[in-house]
Amino acid sequence: MEANVRSYVVAHLPGDGIGPEVTAVARDLVDQAGKEHGFTVDWRHCPLGSEHYLRTGEVLPDDALNDLRKTDAIFLGAVGSPAVRPGVLERGLLLKLRFDLDLYVNLRPARLRRGVPSYGPGALDAIIVRENTEGLYAGAGGIAHRGSALEVATEESLNTRAGVERCIRYAASLAKKRSGKLTLVHKTNVLTNAGSLWKRVADEVATEQGVPLEYAHVDAACLYLVSDPGRFDVIVTDNLFGDIITDLAAALTGGLGLSASGNLNPDRTGPSMFEPVHGSAPDIAGTGKANPAGAVLSAALMLDHLGEAAAAAGLEAAVDAVLAAGGAGSCQGWSEALSAEVAR
Ligand code: IPM
Ligand code: MN
């Protein structure tokens, strides 16, 4: 091996359902790209997820979190299992990682690739910047009088000026690097408190950065994403709106199987985490039907973040080429077709 080869420590957290099968494909392709581009990845297996929880009762022990903090990046498959009560792993593992590692941007590109049928009159080519640590995901709220006729459940949306500002700042800088188009998506006509804060901060940041700002209410944004996708380039939005519109954007660009995400700590005070958007899909786990492209594109986002832009572009191009040729069917088919493209 060359003495000066670049090397990265990456935690591989395959998790549940189809997570292990799709991340295994992506990991091999990253290794293959590394040989071509002169870097190695020191993968550290991290066995957290439903099986570990059911066996040990542990969701995310402190020492595991501390080990994850010391890595260059985290590559995650999926979290969630029908055998575990909803929320235990989602909140205790996935959201805890997002919050504790301060992964305040959830970056979700949505581009209609050649060979993928379009639903509507135009082709979406946008990046959604979803705030990833606050809003209705913050966990503020509770239940009183559980089970009685007077039961009450609250869920409060937390929006801090600092949290909103850093997210919008990231989106504005991304818009500057792309087309310059930035759209804030919110619901300022009803959520007048949080909406006011988001709108004022977005106006301030956009003015300061010299980026023209457009605005769409979230319901209208759903309509436009389908009927007039060309109006969007970089979208910035809060945590729950971002969760919802990124599934819509996925459907408009070939489905969840092709959708990638990066949970970013843009300040680089610790590792960022990369995961396909699709989730654990327990209904098809082990059938060989899972599409690993979303995991591969997430690995490309990871390589880009690590500074391996050429290798990242190679993985992107490989997915584009396989799709343009009509796709590859099974997980194994995708693995072989992508590997052949990366070798080309
Ligand atoms: C996503 C997922 C998660 C979310 C779930 C699994 C907690 O839907 O990454 O979009 O809501 O953020
Ligand atoms: Mn989601």
Which protein residue's CA is at the shortest distance from atom 5 of ligand 1?
Answer: 90
Please list, in sequence order, all residues whose beta carbon lies within 8 angstroms of the beta carbon of residue 79, skipping any fewer than 6 positions away: 15, 16, 19, 49, 50, 89, 90, 93, 94, 279, 280
How many alpha carbons lie under 13 Å from residue 146 in its C-beta half-sphere?
Answer: 2
- Could you tell me if the CB of 67 is within 6 A of ligand 1? no
Confidence class of residue 2 from pLDDT cuts 50, 70 and 90? Answer: low
Cβ neighbour number for residue 282 with a 10 Å cutoff? 16
- Regarding the beta carbon of 311 and ligand 1, being less than 6 Å apart is answered no
User: Which whole number is the average pLDDT over 84-103?
Assistant: 97
Q: Specify the pLDDT at position 121.
A: 87
Token pair listed for 289: 């039907």
Burial letters 191-215, b for 16+ CB under 10 A, else e: beebbebbbebbeebbeebebebeb
* Residue 135 CA from chain centroid, whole number: 17
Cα–Cα distance, 199 to 179 (Å, whole number): 21
Which residue's CA is the nearest one to ligand 1's atom 11? 243
Contact 184 CB / ligand 1 (< 6 Å): no
Asked if 107 and 264 touch (Cβ cutoff 8 Å), the reply is: yes
To the nearest 10 degrees (0 to 180), the angle between helices 161-177 and 192-209 is 40
**pLDDT tens figures, 252-275:** 999 999 999 999 999 999 999 999
Question: Which ligand lies nearest the alpha carbon of 16?
Answer: 1
Backbone angles phi, psi at 262, to 5 degrees: -125, 125
94 C-beta closer than 6 A to ligand 1: yes
**In 3D, which of 17, 81, 74, 72 has the Cα closest to residue 46?**
74
Q: Which ligand has the minimum distance to the alpha carbon of residue 263? A: 1
Beta strand residue intervals within 162-289, DSSP E: 182-186, 213-217, 234-237, 260-264, 272-276
Q: Which atom of ligand 1 is nearest to the CA of 261?
A: 9
3 state SS for 191-212: CHHHHHHHHHHHHHHHHHHCCC
Task: Quick: pLDDT tens for 180-235.
Answer: 899 999 999 999 999 999 999 999 999 999 999 999 999 999 999 999 999 999 99
Distance CA 233, CA 110 (A): 10
The alpha carbon of 78 and the centre of ligand 1 are apart by a number of angstroms equal to: 10
* Predicted confidence band of residue 337 (pLDDT cuts 50, 70, 90): very high
What residues are annotated to the active site? 137, 187, 219, 243, 247
Could you give the CA distance from residue 291 to residue 279 in angstroms, rounded to a whole number? 12
- Residue whose CA is at the smallest distance from ligand 1 atom 7: 90
Q: Distance between CA atoms of 158 and 137, rounded to whole angstroms?
A: 8
Going from the Cα of 108 to the center of ligand 1, the distance in angstroms, rounded, reads 12
CA dist 255 → 5, 9, 14, 69 (Å):
37, 31, 21, 32
Measure 167 CA to ligand 1 centroid, in angstroms: 18
d(CA 83, CA 222): 33
Average model confidence (pLDDT) for the chain? 97
Tell me if 90 CB under 6 Å of ligand 1: yes
Q: Which pLDDT score, from 0 to 100, does residue 3 have?
A: 53
Mutation pick for ligand 1 pocket among 18, 60, 90, 99 (CB with most ligand atoms within 8 Å): 90
> Which ligand has the shortest distance to the CA of 94?
1
**pLDDT tens, 97-119?**
999 999 999 999 999 999 999 98
User: How far, in Å, from the CA of 34 to the mean position of ligand 2?
Assistant: 30
CA-CA distance, 45 to 64, in Å (whole number)? 11
Q: Indicate the pLDDT class of residue 5, thresholds 50, 70 and 90.
A: confident
The confidence score (pLDDT) of residue 342 equals: 96
User: Model pTM greater than 0.85?
Assistant: yes
Q: Is the CB of 321 under 6 A from ligand 1?
A: no
Asked if residue 314 has pLDDT above 60, the reply is: yes
Cα–Cα distance list, 139 to 90, 101, 260, 263, 319 (Å):
12, 16, 25, 18, 37
